[in-house]
Structure 1
Amino acid sequence: MQKNGAGARNGQKFHGRFELTAQRFGIDALLERWVQPPNRKCINIKSFSAYLTLVQSVGLSYIANFTLQRKEEVGALRADCLMWDEDPVLGRILVICGETTKTDPDSDARWPTSSSVEVAVDAMTVVAKLRVRCAASNPEVNCSGDDLMNPYLFHTAFEPWSSLPSGWRPYSTRPRAYNYQFVMQRYPRLFDPEQMKITEDDLVIARMFTPNLDKGGKFKVGEIWPLAYHQLRRTGGINMFASGVLSDSSIQVIMKHLTILQTRYYGQNYSRMRFSEDFESQVVAARYEVMARQIETLVSERYLSPLGEERKHEIIVRLIGNRDFKALVKAGRNGEVSFRETRLGGCTKDGHCDYGGIESVVRCTGGDGDKPCRDAVYDRTKQLSVERQLASVEQRIPKTQRGSPREQALQAEANGLRSYLNVIRN
């Protein structure tokens, strides 16, 4: 409790311990959960600053997960970085605007991304606007009017109680974005250590695309993943073109959705906006790596040809021959080989396919009464998915008008799905 006369000269007023203030505003449990150090009994005013920095750090990582930006690029984003582009087919597309740091310097680069990134930008903006008000009140920081209106999403803690050992620096001086290891060490409550441990399945998947992963001894079963931002860029690109590799991952669905957007922008050159060329090269490189790995797995029992073992052998000889992985990647880039994932497995047809294998599998399987496609291969791991698809189609058939084109299309689709299951089960 403040004594009588205390603060009369400087106007200061004591409001009690910060813990009581946090309780009054209903944030005490929040701070205790995320930022209270294990060796401290109660939270204090610096716990509040630690939480604000945590929001910024997590938001930075979250955005990087979906945009594949470098951490320096995300760390340089401002509050107005988010914009929406209207697409006549896909609807509203979220785009992050910023600056590139390597390859092709661009002060107005753009990254198409998932709409879920909006929540990270919003949270970081709230923190940025709180902190820039403190910065503007500090003459040593020299915060401009533009900075006040459009602050950096990631910046130093400018709260009065957060003075730096080296002294205050101008707002234009950018701090380095924290790496994953630093954030994990500073905020030990952020992740469940058990969930962060490397499993044997993790290593199997990781080695598919990075054969020398064990070099240096950092990646071992039971150890904590040594997470790094460059891993996000590589893994994100691979995920977007390999939904079959990590099909059980919830984030895979979001990444696959993101791929649709990027394919439309990059593949069809749809947008007039200029996107990061470095980002595009990362995506394209990952695409051909994934294609090469998918082609290599064709030799396993996982894949079958609906036309029999002899036809599968012909496909393998045509696609692989005596090529190793690097040669397959190069052949994919040159358009000499092709593999495109479908609902039933894959399509090995060179060039464009008029039927797709996504919207309908009728032509792939011969559901229209013709023979199955010579370029189709069936993936055994998709059996459960196909069984669910068949059940859904069979439920819709009685609800359509008998003899209508719609009923005929559904019947053909059901026949195609049954054809796949017959091949897989036999």
Structure 2
Amino acid sequence: MKNSRKHDDTTVHDGFVAFRRAHQPPTWPPPPDFPIVVDAAGAVVSRYGDSIWDFRCWENHPVILNFGEPKGRAKARGQLSEANAQLLRQVCAWWIFKSRTIETVKSLRDRFYEWRRIGVTCAKYNLLISELYKYPALQDEIFSIMSTGAKERLLNIGHALLEGSSEIGFILLDGPGLMRLRAAVGDTSDRQTPYIPPRIWKYQVLRLRECLDDFQIHQNGFDSMYRDCVRIYVENPSIAASESRLSEQFMDFARRYDAAGLFKKWIGDETYLNRQSIKNLGTYASLISYVGLAYILNFSLLRVGEAWSLQANCWETEYDDRFGTFHMIRGKANKANRGLSTVWPTAPSVKLAVDAMASVSRLRMEWVKHTNRTPLDKAALSNPYLLSRSYAPWSSMTHAELQESMSVRPQGLTYRQVSESFPLLFDREELRVTQEDFNIARLVTPSLNAEQFGVGALWPLAWHQLRRTGAVNMHASGIVSDGSMQYLLKHSRRAMTHYYGRGYSHVRLDKDAEKTFIRTMYETLALEFTKLLDERYVSPHGEKRKSEIIRMVQTKDHAKLVEAGKQGKVAWRETLLGGCTKRGPCSFGGVENIVRCAGGDGKPACADALFDRGRRDKIEILRAQIKMRLAAAESESPYAAALSAQLAAAEAALSVIDLQKE
């Protein structure tokens, strides 16, 4: 075994990162003599099989992981069994060499000691930590003595460990166990944030997108019109800012740039537009800025304050050999990362919003370059904030506002104020709450104020609602049934699932958004379970079996669903045929392969499967596609045999659906 090469260990972080980049275990788990810690001189300090991993050479103060017998005051922590110590070594090695979720030795130490305490508790019952997921009562005992903060940290860590369980070699907490942990955390501030009903959420997203699409189509004309107006003011300094320099009606002028329809659709009628004249340029520019902001918040989990500080170069992409291109927004986090540069995974369609906002912001910088009333900031001019002040010769900005540094962020409008300031953006009646809207919103937010958000009221849109609603919708696909919306959410969820918890990225992710994403994931499992109560879901083993599956929930009451999650009794994931209620992983597929679900292999259908009558047409299409492939397949080949099993499964599912429909 070769020792580690020498490192330029100038900082703790650099030493830790450089070591794990330069070394990978030859086998998994690593051999006992594999180096874990190597000092700046290249000497091995700790090896995988050691009872102590000593990281002080990277930390400049004692930081150790003790897998053996604790000494002194540390004896109060209890003794790990040798078997559990070996399993924890394996977990720690995975964190170091295979997961990208650990950035510092301190993070590794904190995670280790949280799981060491769990290992000590397991040892009292002569259990391995790899067996913990089988014992819900023991999980409850462990969670009951943990602080809320510790449980929230464990939820994030446990999710990452579950995602990496195939690499680690065993499971610590499975999906139902993490649901129990999420229920043990209790209500959070997120849970109290109103969830926007899907119909209203879909409406506002589609209107935002329509507005951005229109801007993109007419962007060249609007840009030229805006720049020409700024140029005329620059060339005629005697014109007062309050004056209209146009010698013709505004709409006649706008038609020359093919922009008249844009203003009529989004700002007002022709009479109003002619009266407002050139100020319409600033009004429309502000509309695009706020529409872009709202669209970003719908699909990124940014807080509004974080989005308010984004700059024009915030859009980034990262390519993964296994999963393709992922899209991200870079900015500064308000909370967990303490203002450090960080990124938020998002949907590719969000780039449309970023580009539109950047275009508007750069147009506003044109006037800043020509006026001596605003302190010049070269960095802000070349890379402006996406949401900038309304710099323009026709702007109503005060002298004090013009004198403000460009780096000082102005106070923006609330989402409700945006909808009121731009009355053509949303149809008020579309925002009026229906009974179905209220029922769904109350299901997700049990504490919803019936007076403020009740039937007949106009839903009071707010920026923070977009973050909460986006997090729920990305997980609860059954709540948002619209295909186009599912497509947009799919991309956001794919990116966030890829990064949050799994740690596939080298970039610094926003930890607060990560916690929100993972916490909501397990919360919405209970919401997804409500779908099973609908008559559209049938069991291939009859109504009695379905009743057994859902017997722990007799109503759609959210509190009972959370309790079911706490007891580890709720499990649900969508499949091609409907859904699966099996606890733990399924070795037969189900998401891509339906053979075992419906008994296409000649055996009885899976007892945990439920078929969705609403998917009958899709299953019919699937059956037709399988038949076409089977006709083209080589007779008696393994491929033909696999297709035959798939065909039998599809036909069996259709038979169950049709039989129980009668």
Q: TM-score, normalising length from structure 2? A: 0.58
Q: Give the Å deviation of 1:251.
A: 1.3
Residue type of the partner of 2:261? A
Q: Is it true that 1:125 corresponds to 2:125 in the alignment?
A: no
Residue type of the partner of 1:151? P
Provide the residue aligned with 1:151 in structure 2. 384
Structure 1 spans left out of the alignment, 5+ residues: 1-6
Q: Give the Å deviation of 1:374.
A: 2.4
Question: Which structure has the greater CA radius of gyration?
Answer: 2
In the superposition, relative to structure 1, how do residues 416 and 106 fare at CA in structure 2: closer, same or farther (>3 Å)?
A: farther
C-alpha distance in 2, partners of 1:331/1:9? 72
Other structure's SS at 1:160 match: coil
Residue type of the partner of 1:202? D
Provide the residue aligned with 1:29 in structure 2. 261
Residue type of the partner of 1:64? L
**Higher mean C-alpha deviation, range 240-249 or range 80-89:** 240-249
In the superposition, relative to structure 1, how do residues 218 and 321 fare at CA in structure 2: closer, same or farther (>3 Å)?
A: closer
Provide the residue aligned with 1:48 in structure 2. 281
Give CA deviations for 1:329-388 in whole Å, capped at 9, x if unaligned.
476478664222222222222222223311111111111222212222223333333223
In the superposition, relative to structure 1, how do residues 56 and 334 fare at CA in structure 2: closer, same or farther (>3 Å)?
A: farther
Give CA deviations for 1:287-340 in whole Å, capped at 9, x if unaligned.
2222112334434534332223443344335x6599974465476478664222
C-alpha distance in 2, partners of 1:260/1:349? 23
Residue type of the partner of 1:162? S
Q: Is it true that 1:397 corresponds to 2:654 in the alignment?
A: no
Q: Give the Å deviation of 1:238.
A: 1.5
Q: Give the Å deviation of 1:398.
A: 2.0
Provide the residue aligned with 1:208 in structure 2. 443
Q: How does 1:342-381 map to 2 (within 5 A)?
A: 342-381=575-614
Provide the residue aligned with 2:539 in structure 1. 305
Q: Is it true that 1:261 corresponds to 2:261 in the alignment?
A: no
**Higher mean C-alpha deviation, range 337-346 or range 411-420:** 337-346
Provide the residue aligned with 2:396 in structure 1. 163
Q: How does 1:13-412 map to 2 (within 5 A)?
A: 16-17=247-248, 19=250, 20-36=252-268, 40=272, 42=274, 43-165=276-398, 167=400, 168=402, 169-221=404-456, 223-317=457-551, 325-326=558-559, 328-329=561-562, 332=565, 337-412=570-645
C-alpha distance in 1, partners of 2:548/2:262? 61
Q: Give the Å deviation of 1:54.
A: 0.8
Residue type of the partner of 2:247? G
Give CA deviations for 1:238-283 in whole Å, capped at 9, x if unaligned.
1111212222252122102321222222242222222212212222
C-alpha distance in 2, partners of 1:84/1:11? 47
C-alpha distance in 2, partners of 1:89/1:326? 40
Residue type of the partner of 1:424? I
Residue type of the partner of 1:24? R
CA contact (8 A) 2:367 2:393 kept: yes
Residue type of the partner of 1:117? V
Residue type of the partner of 1:211? P
C-alpha distance in 2, partners of 1:347/1:77? 41
C-alpha distance in 1, partners of 2:248/2:340? 46
CA contact (8 A) 1:347 1:375 kept: yes
Give CA deviations for 1:25-84 in whole Å, capped at 9, x if unaligned.
232332232213686262511001111111111111111111021222111100010000
Residue type of the partner of 1:34? W
C-alpha distance in 2, partners of 1:251/1:120? 17
Q: Give the Å deviation of 1:164.
A: 1.7
Provide the residue aligned with 1:4 in structure 2. none
C-alpha distance in 2, partners of 1:28/1:322? 54
C-alpha distance in 2, partners of 1:58/1:394? 47
Residue type of the partner of 2:418? V
In the superposition, relative to structure 1, how do residues 127 and 376 fare at CA in structure 2: closer, same or farther (>3 Å)?
A: same
Q: Could you say what the CA RMSD is over the residues aligned between the two structures, in angstroms?
A: 2.9
C-alpha distance in 2, partners of 1:346/1:414? 18
Residue type of the partner of 2:278? I
C-alpha distance in 2, partners of 1:84/1:386? 36
C-alpha distance in 2, partners of 1:397/1:153? 54
Residue type of the partner of 1:17? E
Higher RCO, 1 vs 2 (CA within 8 Å, ≥6 residues apart): 2
**Higher mean C-alpha deviation, range 65-74 or range 26-35:** 26-35
Residue type of the partner of 1:368? D
CA contact (8 A) 1:131 1:158 kept: yes
Give CA deviations for 1:94-114 in whole Å, capped at 9, x if unaligned.
100112223442421211111
Structure 2 spans left out of the alignment, 5+ residues: 1-233
C-alpha distance in 2, partners of 1:117/1:322? 38
Name the one with the larger helix percent. 2
Residue type of the partner of 1:128? S
Residue type of the partner of 1:383? R
C-alpha distance in 2, partners of 1:21/1:204? 49
C-alpha distance in 2, partners of 1:165/1:252? 45
C-alpha distance in 2, partners of 1:109/1:378? 42
Other structure's SS at 2:442 match: helix
**Higher mean C-alpha deviation, range 117-126 or range 261-270:** 261-270
Q: Is it true that 1:420 corresponds to 2:653 in the alignment?
A: yes
In the superposition, relative to structure 1, how do residues 322 and 178 fare at CA in structure 2: closer, same or farther (>3 Å)?
A: closer
In the superposition, relative to structure 1, how do residues 158 and 300 fare at CA in structure 2: closer, same or farther (>3 Å)?
A: closer
Other structure's SS at 1:346 match: strand
